[in-house]
Structure 1
């Protein structure tokens, strides 16, 4: 009977020691959970602060976009003004070209007139030359025959009054003819000189007009060239502004996406805090129950000890033997418990590869983006996968967002807390998504399938890791298992 009581006491003692070790483990877990809750609450504060910074950046980007739009409007007005000036200048050039063509036609007409005048001048010169010969002969005849006295003798030699009239008429006729010859001769000479002078004056005037028109045309052409340069400059400026606006618009979308992801991360973080607090409460309740059980065991143990002492007061050696046996059993259980809680060291990698496929692109600046062109930052790595390849969570966490995400197409973001550090993983260009926002996922759990959605040139998985929350992308490769 004594041996039974002593054996029961030893078992109770060993059980009590075991409960103490379990309570230590529970206490450590509660401390760890308390620490994790504090870390998550600090992260929540950081996320709220970061979201405020993103909002400030977004407002700044909006101001830059508004300023860019104002500049575009100004440049567009300048382009319209230059276009109007170019149109007017081009019309003026065409007018000048028409006037130059007309002037060239005038010059051609004058040249033709000059050729005609040359022929007329030859005729006039021949006629003048003949008259000069005739007049010369008349002068010689008059000189030889006494000039005007000869006409008088003809008249005075009349035989009758009728003869006198006839002779007077004949003399008048001859004198009128001579006068007509002289007048015609002088008129031809004057006409010849006037025609020559008129043609020469007209030619000079038209040629001067042509020179002036050519000069005006050169000025207009120079003005057009200047306006063309200004237009090209404004168009180049407009193209740069439009490109800048596109970058700002893309940045704005990125900020909006970042805000949405940060909001989702806050919600996921709140859920993680709630889960940790619930788990802590459960462990505290469990510890409380264990403490109550331990108290009950202590009371029972005390009662058993009292009964054992009363029954074994006459046999002290038997009690010593029982105590020795009890101590031996207690040491054995303690060693067994210590071996069951042995801490194992994990590998340096924190994340597993989310999909099977070769590495096709690395983290860093690209010289030329395959879709948008120009130097762009590549915030993650690319894995060559066919459409429909199984996608798995890279680590335990809470889904922040699951849906369309700009250039990443169908995408998933997951919030993680690993070794006191927060991370966000991003999975882009997916063909399907099998999780939703707020869902808790485990490492290796299927969350969707890879694809070719968004700004993508072929099926692949784009994978990012952000340290301390979204917006702080780092190279994923050093963190992969």
Structure 2
């Protein structure tokens, strides 16, 4: 019985080793199936992204057509506004001219009023002269009447003492008669002059006042027209504001769609690169399976699903994973990684063994390195962004701790730092990196 015991122990050890080997092969086969399933899911996601990209491009085209239509409306409104503003300026010019004309007419009326006042004084003086002449004529007529009218002149002539005296008296009588005639003619002329001046000044004043009323009516009409044009301008300004607001919305939507399109293209490229990296991971797993078949006692390493990555760079945390106010876009959005405050040029280390799927400029990430990892049957993707330089290339296998680049401030960054992300099962499924860092 003692002799059989060693053989029994050996047999038990062989059976145990066989079971371990079977378990390892079974687990590794299961891992390969999971990898193939993940590859299939990536291919499906790529097709979905293609469809989403097509929809986005269609929306971009529709948005551009709307922008063209709105721009046409804006151009038309611009022309209407220009025409309206020109009309307003023309009306204002007419109003200014009318105001000047009203001022001139007002000044003319004031001048006529002054002229009327002067004429009143002149008329008053003329009337006083007329009164004096009329009084003089009345006195002379009374004297003539009292002395027998024209017979008085004959008596004067007949009372001449000599021919020379007769001639002298005749001349004197003629002078007196001429004076009387002159007084009467002057009196008549003064009366006519006064009446004419009164009539002329009053007519001028009436004409100017009528003209002023006409011009004031014209000014009122022009101001009403201007008010209508200003109201029209207000309506056009409102329409323009609405169109410009709509255009701003369309441009913002277009930028968002372009950003989505860019993100889709980048994500497609990332997924294509990941698919290639995972193919390589599958090939590596198959090689490991073959190696296990050859080495029955070799076991695959297993680790803790938490704390599986080393810190890619040492530095204090400046921004945690989660929702935050974006410092550049000024909106609340998911910060899908952890930021480490490190200076430009700090060495960047591979957080774990893996295959580089992408090392390039990726939109807001700037220079970024994407690595596909396969650890304990689970695939991961890590992203290190805003790098100043990269020393690896797509398809390259890297080892944990290997320097793969230098940190920096490229892309949408407000200062030198490292943005680090962890995605489970492939890019697009971000988780808090701190839960997976040692």
Q: TM-score range by the shorter chain?
A: 0.7 to 0.9
Superimposed CA distance per residue, residues 91-118 of structure 1 (whole angstroms, 9 cap, x where no aligned partner): 2232223222222222222222122212
Higher relative contact order (CA 8 A, sep 6+): 1
Q: 1:342/1:141 Cα in 2 relative to 1: closer, same or farther (>3 Å)? A: closer
Aligned residue number for residue 390 of structure 2: 433
Question: Is 2:74 the counterpart of 1:74?
Answer: no
Matches within 5 A, 1:229-244: 229-244=238-253
1: CA distance, partners of 2:305 / 2:425: 21
* Aligned residue number for residue 25 of structure 1: 20
**In structure 2, what is the equivalent of residue 358 of structure 1?**
316
1:102-137 C-alpha deviation (Å, 9 max, x unpaired):
222222222221222123212322343344445556
C-alpha contact (below 8 Å) 2:305/2:436 kept by paired residues? no
Task: Please report how far the alpha carbon of residue 138 of structure 1 lies from its aligned counterpart in structure 2 after TM superposition.
Answer: 6.5
**Ranges in structure 1 where 5+ consecutive residues have no aligned partner:** 1-6, 291-336
| Deviates most, 409-418 or 444-453 | 444-453
Query: Are the equivalent residues in 1 in contact too, given 2:367–2:386 (CA < 8 A)?
Result: yes
3-state SS of 1:429 partner: strand
1:64 and 2:62 aligned? no
Aligned residue-pair number: 420
TM-score normalised by L of structure 1: 0.74
1:112–1:343 Cα change, 3 Å: closer
Partner of 1:262: 271
Deviation at 1:445, TM superposition (A): 3.0
How many angstroms does 1:283 deviate by? 4.2
The equivalent residue for 2:79 is 84
CA shift, 1:282, in A, is 4.7
Greater shift after overlay, 125-134 or 447-456? 125-134
Say yes or no: does 1:446 pair with 2:400: no
Deviations 1:24-82 (A, max 9, x none): 33333322221122111111110011111112222222233223323332333333333
Pair 411,342 (structure 1): closer, same or farther in 2 beyond 3 Å: closer
Q: In the alignment, what sits opposite 1:200?
A: 209
Q: TM-score normalised to the size of structure 2?
A: 0.81
Shift of 1:412: 0.9
Taking the TM superposition and a 5 Å limit, the aligned residue runs for 1:329-478 are: 346=304, 348-367=306-325, 369-478=326-435
Partner of 2:107: 112
Q: Which secondary structure does the structure 2 equivalent of 1:104 belong to? A: helix
Take 2:318 and 2:89, find their aligned partners in 1: how far apart are those partners?
60
Give matches, 1:142-181, under 5 Å: 145=141, 179-181=188-190
Correspondence 1:184-199 to 2 at 5 A: 184-199=193-208
Task: Name the CA distance, whole Å, in 1 between partners of 2:334 and 2:33.
Answer: 34
Q: Give ranges in structure 2 of 5+ residues lacking alignment.
A: 158-169
In 2, Cα distance between equivalents of 1:344 and 1:52? 34
Contact 2:323–2:334 (Cα < 8 Å) also in 1:
yes
The CA deviation at 1:343 is 9.0
SS for the counterpart of 1:223 is helix
Compared CA separation, residues 451 and 275, structure 1 to 2 (3 A): same
